[in-house]
Structure 1
Amino acid sequence: MAKIKFQEYDVVICGAGPAGLKMACELQKRAAGVYKILILDKKSPWQEPVFCAEAVSADRLSEYWPIKEHWVRQRLSGIYFTSPSRDRAEFYSKDCGLILNRALFHKDMADTAASLGVETNFESLCLKVEPSSDGRWVLKVQCLGDEIELKTSIIIDATGPGAKISKGVPELAGMESGDADLESAIFAVVEGIEHSPEHIELFFGSRFPGGYGWLFPRDGKEVNLGFVLGRHQKKNESSRKQLSDFIQQYFPTAHIKAVYGGMIACGQSKKPIAKHGFFKIGDAASCVNPISRSGIVEAIVSADVMVPIVLEWLSSSSPEKRREIERGALDAWMKSLGESHLQLANGKSIFSQISDKQFNRATKRLSRLSREKTTLLRIFIAVLFSTPSLIWKLRSFIR
């Protein structure tokens, strides 16, 4: 990996996940090469493992990035909703989703960015940011063992939850930190399970308080088995032990190949996501769907929303106008997905109140319908009769 080419840039993007890479590509295309753009990450974004279930809506992703078969692990045609009693209700829709190979997907995005003229450096870690006396930003970056300083007009924070590079910077106080509702998730890559390679399976009930369990097919042999739990749920045992017990009870023939864990930023808020030329996107801006916990397309959408705002900011020289543009960043995100995420977040507390009996009753009713008759309207009616609050959970996954 080469050293960073310049000491000064117009835009530096920190974080080469879907949000950062989409921002780099779209910004470079729309700016027609006018600005010097650098994207940094501490490691190549295609390095395995990627801590993700890798499922996306085919239709939604194709709106923002061309789908290429070499990074599609599996095409999906349905979802099984499974109750504690192991009754299953199926929602069927041909080619409704994709299981991605995130590593190859990231490689495609990174290669596209480089081909467009974005400078990419994936052996560099942003250590600190601080304002410069000329109104720009100074970044202290560790690159190939050396610590260097860069200057830039704009920083795009796509580093994920936790305010990794904005924490402790007085000028950025009060910004979205991406850690208001951090939830723990854990999964295993598993072989030896009989499953439908065209379906994902979602498990609900008291075993997964405030969250849900999942089975995502990978390549016809391997599956991704795991769960996410609500932030406020008390843990009497470790997540790894809970995962082991879940797999042993539901899938006793499973062979566990590897176990991974991580945090999901689910806390949509109305805190600013742009200040003083510092912009947040993706998990750093809490753009994850609070109920389904999906975040790949959401991250890409957040970047797409922010691109014209960044370009308008760069084209303005008035500090007052730039502050106005920054205030509009949150409004633009809220209009896109933020408002719906806030509504889902507000309804989140009801899920811990749904009993196993209610889950069983709703799923039993739905399981009696044939696949052809399991339309969204029928799902709505069946669930409404069993427990009205459950419709929120289904709605989040099948929208």
Structure 2
Amino acid sequence: MHWYEMKLGGRGHTDSAVSQVCRPDRIADVPKYLEQVGKNGIIVRGSGSSYADQAINEDGAVMMTGRLDSIRSFDPETGELVCEPGVTLRAITELFAPRGFMLPTATASGQHTLGGAIAANIVGMNGHRRTSLARSVNWVEVLLADGTAVRASETENTELFKAVVGGQGLIGIIIQVSVTLLKRPADNVVVERRRTANLNELTEALKSARKTADFCYAWLDTSARADAVGRGVLTTASFTRDPATVPWFSMPKFKLPLPHFFLRLAATPFFKRLRYRLSPADGKTVEPYEKFLYPSDSVRYFTHRGVYQFQASFSEAEGPQAIRRILTEMAQTRVQACRAALVLTKEDTLSYLGSALRGYTISLDFIRRKGLDDFLKHLITVAGEHNGRVSVQDDALLEPRNLVLMYKQLEKFIKVRDAFDPQKKFDSNFGRRLFAKERKNEQ
């Protein structure tokens, strides 16, 4: 049993804190560490891929689950995989892709641990088909604050399950997961990329792709103005038995550091216009599925200023107007994103803190600079005015009042948390930022 002091931050490098850290080697050790938790509680940390303060616990404890990565069992007949929470999505892909199996949700990153992906309730490039990875979870085993282990699913301890999924680790520690892998229809995907002239054309193309494509997402040129607002490049992919036209050697094991200079370059209107012009008007390739997966993993941010992520989901009716307003205000104020993406999603009903609506989800990364906090808080207000939800998964600036407005099942989450962890043994900077009022009321 060993604790040590360590400074931890999020992927966006906007938040950091010193914590007492432990790394259990076995699931059997987890309850022993939990017994030693003191002031400010403990939060579980998988790969640390959340952008902000979700897995940070200042002056408290952090449990790293990277060593809890054992595969317990796999049934090739049903596709059921039972494993520990520290197994990464990439590791699952590397292990089971050669056997013809795949995770049901194609996330942008494979570095997420399975436990972290469930706790963050991440969606993927096939969000128009599946709401999130949690939709394929058969059950989770959760270690609660009192040291008992409870199994929860859509049909067993349902309220607990809906609080654990997307609960950012504030309910308990996921110690075991059962998830169903799918038989992969083919080894390759036919990938089509084409430019769209504006937001209307892009949203229509996305809706059309929803009917036929297995995966679809769009890159946005956030520098475009006037009639070109919302122009971008749509990428769709569907499984095919055709031979690959693009070679694949191996999935990248290491991420290329992207220094501040290149991040700034990626955010310039010149770079965005160049990327748009160089993108194919209508291009098609056949790629191995593993090559198409995890596009975000080829680059990691490296900037002293930090990067904020703003991710918001809107209904199909409100989405185009809300997204147009966001992009127009960005262009008018010259606030540029170094990454901008748009995907289709189905409504998330598996989580009390699920952000996805049936419609559109826009994701924007911004280099932190003076005045950006206020602008992003304004975008949060804009999202609320259009009945949207800002995702808590990577957010750094949401306030309790925003949560109350956007998340209609928030009270159910708070009720479950109070019932299973009245002393708030599981806590984090994120938890105190958004739920401090409840904690004060208890004291």
Instruction: Please state which structure has a larger fraction of its residues in helix.
Output: 1
TM score, norm. by length of structure 1: 0.27
TM score, norm. by length of structure 2: 0.25
